[in-house]
A and B are shown apart, each in its own frame.
Chain A
Amino acid sequence: MPYNPMELMIACAARLLEDGRSVAVGTGAPCAAAMLAQRTESPKLVICFEAGGVAPQLPTMPISVGDSRTFYKAAMATSMADVMETCQRGMIDYTFLGGAQIDMFGNLNSTMIGGTYQKPKVRLPGSGGANDLASFCWRIFVVTNHDRRRFVPKLDFLTSPGYLTGPGAREAAGLPPGCGPYRVITDLAVMGYHENTKRMEVVSLHPGVSLDQVRANTGFELGVREPLETTQPPTPIELKILREEVDPHRYIIGRC
């Protein structure tokens, strides 16, 4: 069955969310991935939203991380601090983050581009809850388009922590040990991080994509995990659920 890159990215992300685990999501593709996971392999996935929605039965895609869809038929509607502190206690396994820029250690910029901090060329929203979730959740996922503007050698601003400057840096700074970036899912490939160097490396190429193509769209040296695999395309069942139940109005999957 034909599919577009966004559908592939969402299906990839959904498969990484194991049943019985917990995830803090925002709106957009991550929310679609969590909803798809719940409707396929991970019915007991616990979804949380940082504004206070805990374990909702999402009727439609939320527009805001705090809108009423995020706690529709939820187990609890609570506070932002309560959800963040659940993360800080180590109870939330996964989170999804985005950003205008990402570097080889998975650090993210969502604060500003160009100019100076006080007078930036483009002011972006800032951390929101991203820095907190990147500090506290065990495995951090990023879903983004793959180009040299985003995959940069040096961030204009380090908003949310990846592996910072490399192995041991998170722990040295005082962040909780044992957590950090895990996967980057793009329209070209899936990346992970090398066990020892903590540098980004390609784990699987999407069907029809070459390693050269991925490297040409990355502004830093990208390793390869052997054996390099080919990403499994979305199954007809995944596509059907995604199109009919998760995002019938094509708000997210229509973005390609």
Chain B
Amino acid sequence: MTPLPQGAGPLFSDPSANHAREAFAKKPRAPFDKLMTVAEAVSRFVQDGDYLAIGGFGGDRLPTAVCHEILRQGKQNLRFAGHTATHDFQILCAGNQTGRGKLLARVDNAYVVGLEARGLSPHARRVMESDEVEFCEWTNYALAVRFKAAAMGLPFLPSRSMLGTDTFRHSAGKAMACPFTGEILNALPALYPDVAAIHVHEADRFGNCRIQGTSVADLDVARAAKKLIITCERLIPTEEIRQDPTRTVIPFFCVDAVCEVPYGSYPGNMAYEYFSDEEHIRKWLEVERDLEEFKGFLDRHIFGVKDFTEYLQLCGGLARMQELRRQELLLHLGR
């Protein structure tokens, strides 16, 4: 019998469930006040060389402030999971080849570089075509399954995609025979990120979170991550959480930091709150074409501001947010 094929790509994280248990054993269980600034959260919980996961779907429910702060604090040599990473990937790539060292070192690619219908990011292309970042190929579902395996406390889970393709050959997946049916499956290694950041609608100061709309892979990412930074549109009282616990989708003991960041997904979309700022995202894509112009843009918008509130001011402040809220609620269509 010929051996089953294996992907030749590198594995950027440790899939061992036992090693992960050792890390989870150290996490505090008792609820305590985790409210802090984004700057403090990133400074305390994101270390150089960490494996980072970002919640949401690229430009939807994105923890933008955390991405900015990682860039602003000059974090180096991060590993990253790119499952439809669009504007988040753009922000992180701004830490490569802009004279500030190398923010991204290794990337698990499922969807990177592109911004869906908006086109490709010129700077993300610059970074990914430069040979300075190591990468490994996956699919969106494969990364979702890898997070799910970790959330379950397992070393792997099987799935049925990727088989037979170059995507598989450049991944670290391994084909296996099902022990019950003999059917060929793709074994996907669990992905336990060192740190993850997720933006939610509401959280209390202990970290109990509510999300409205699609959850993408975030409920698994939250449970898979060894450290978790939550940014929320609104901080709410714990009594409100306890009045309707069915709405809690991430429990407090998964969470290490809670940061209240209104309009925190900007320029991304936040369901039921505000639509994406397509003009601003287009601006990023335009300035990225010329590296010097891009550096100037970053100096003004990221390095020259002290926090995300100042960035929002630069981008049109409350008036702009009001317009995006109208777009989200379809009021601009006369509803």
Mark A residues whose CB is within 8 Å of B. Answer: 26-28, 50-53, 59-60, 63-68, 70-71, 77-81, 84, 88, 107, 111, 115, 117-132, 134-136, 155, 157-161, 164, 169-170, 172-176
**8 A-B pairs with the lowest CB-CB distances in the bound complex, closest first:** A174-B184, A66-B57, A173-B164, A52-B214, A125-B114, A128-B111, A132-B141, A135-B161
Which chain B residues numbered 51 to 92 have a C-beta less than 8 Å away from chain A? 56-61, 82-84, 86
Residues on A with beta carbons closer than 8 Å to the beta carbon of B120: 124-125
30 A-B Cβ contacts within 8 A? A26-B116, A51-B84, A51-B214, A63-B278, A64-B57, A64-B117, A64-B269, A66-B56, A66-B58, A66-B60, A67-B269, A67-B275, A79-B220, A81-B220, A84-B140, A88-B159, A111-B166, A123-B112, A124-B113, A126-B82, A127-B139, A128-B84, A128-B111, A129-B139, A131-B162, A131-B165, A164-B164, A170-B164, A172-B164, A174-B186
Tell me, in angstroms, the Cα distance from A28 to B117 when the chains sit together: 7
Tell me, in angstroms, the Cα distance from A157 to B214 when the chains sit together: 31
Residues on B with beta carbons closer than 8 Å to the beta carbon of A64: 57-60, 86, 116-117, 269, 276
- Say whether A51 contacts B60, CB under 8 Å: yes
Tell me, in angstroms, the Cα distance from A172 to B217 when the chains sit together: 30
Residues on B with beta carbons closer than 8 Å to the beta carbon of A126: 82, 109-113, 137, 167
Residue from the list B57, B82, B185 in contact with A65, Cβ < 8 A: B57
Residues on A with beta carbons closer than 8 Å to the beta carbon of B145: 81
- Say whether B116 contacts A158, CB under 8 Å: no
- Say whether B113 contacts A125, CB under 8 Å: yes
- Say whether B60 contacts A129, CB under 8 Å: no
- Say whether B160 contacts A176, CB under 8 Å: yes
Does B148 sit at the interface, judged by CB under 8 A?
yes
Would A120 and B129 be within 8 Å (CB), given that A78-B215, A127-B111, A158-B165 are in contact? yes
- Say whether A84 contacts B167, CB under 8 Å: no
Which chain B residues numbered 171 to 210 have a C-beta less than 8 Å away from chain A? 175, 183-186
Would A127 and B160 be within 8 Å (CB), given that A27-B117, A173-B184 are in contact? no
Residue from the list B113, B134, B271 in contact with A68, Cβ < 8 A: B271
Residues on A with beta carbons closer than 8 Å to the beta carbon of B144: 79-81, 84
Would A174 and B175 be within 8 Å (CB), given that A125-B111, A126-B111, A132-B161 are in contact? yes
Residue from the list A71, A130, A173 in contact with B214, Cβ < 8 A: A71
Residues on B with beta carbons closer than 8 Å to the beta carbon of A158: 165-167
